[in-house]
A = this chain, B = another copy of it.
Amino acid sequence: MKKIVLERVGDVVRALGSGPRLELLEHVSQGERSVERLADAAGLSVANASQHLLKLRAAGFVRSRRDGKAVMYSLADPSVTELVAGLFRHAERTQAEIRAIVADSFGRLDRLEAVSRSELIGRLEEGAVTLLDVRPEDEFALGHLPGALNVRLDQLEARLAELPADREIVAYCRGPYCVLSFEAVAVLRSKGFTVRRLEDGYPEWLAAGLPTESAERAL
């Protein structure tokens, strides 16, 4: 009896224990999207992505609904984001290999200088910062932090004029392991801007129950 429960919980946990599925989950947590777009974002074949998404759904991490000919997947519950974030934190803390890669490719300093969510809230209330969302337009449209300016990373150098030179900028993207905001910080600093990263990203903001804006109709 107890063994059955443990085995079932094991099934649920195992559904998370796969690189492709963790990546799909990261993309799903940006907002509701079709199988095809998720497959594209994660670099998987549509059939393969579909299978992975079905497993995530069976394990209760995402849910789906039919919209015309497309099936739209979205996060089952905001608490999933926190659960997954906890697992990433644990893995980064205990796995030397992950720490090494993270330290290498993301840069130790940028991590330490990141702005926490609570600090950002305080600074936003003071009106002291400009928020910069460096994700693609479609993810921005699905939802973003209130008042954020959206400039895709590859357009950043062309649109520097839109950014304030005399205010601090806080850049964010998909989450703590998303490289977009790291690169945005590097680019902007080299141009003389005052800029820091948000330590996590949009999904964590959403999961914390904080207000968001969206260009499309509410979910």
Contact of A22 among B9, B19, B86 (CB under 8 A): B9
- Does any Cβ of B come within 8 Å of A177's Cβ? yes
A86, closest chain B residue (CB): B83
- Are the CB atoms of A2 and B83 closer together than 8 Å? no
Interface residue from B13, B14, B79, B98 paired with A9 (Cβ < 8 Å) = B98
A90 within 8 A of B: yes
Q: Is A93 on the interface with B (CB-CB < 8 A)?
A: yes
Query: In the bound complex, what is the Cα–Cα distance between A95 and B4 (angstroms)?
Result: 12
A101 within 8 A of B: yes
Provided the pairs A5-B101, A179-B2 are in contact, do residues A59 and B94 lie with their beta carbons within 8 angstroms?
yes
Task: List the number of copies, as a whole number.
Answer: 2
Residues of B within 8 A of A148 (CB): none
Give A94's nearest chain B residue, CB to CB. B60
Q: Count of A residues near B, CB < 8 Å?
A: 45
A161 CB to closest chain B CB, in angstroms?
31
Which of B20, B22, B60 is close to A93, meaning CB atoms less than 8 Å apart?
B60
Inter-subunit contact A90/B83 (CB<8 Å)? yes
A4 to B: closest C-beta gap in Å: 6
Q: Is A154 an interface residue, CB under 8 A from the partner?
A: no
Nearest to A9 among chain B residues (CB) is B91
Taking a contact as CB atoms closer than 8 A, the residue among B1, B9, B97 that contacts A105 in the complex is B1
Q: Is the beta-carbon distance between A95 and B17 smaller than 8 angstroms?
A: no
* Interface flag for A45 (CB, 8 Å): no
The A78-136 residues at the B interface (CB cut-off 8 A) are: 79-80, 82-83, 86-88, 90-91, 93-95, 97-98, 101-102, 105
Residues in chain A within 8 A of chain B (CB atoms): 1-23, 59-60, 76, 79-80, 82-83, 86-88, 90-91, 93-95, 97-98, 101-102, 105, 177, 179
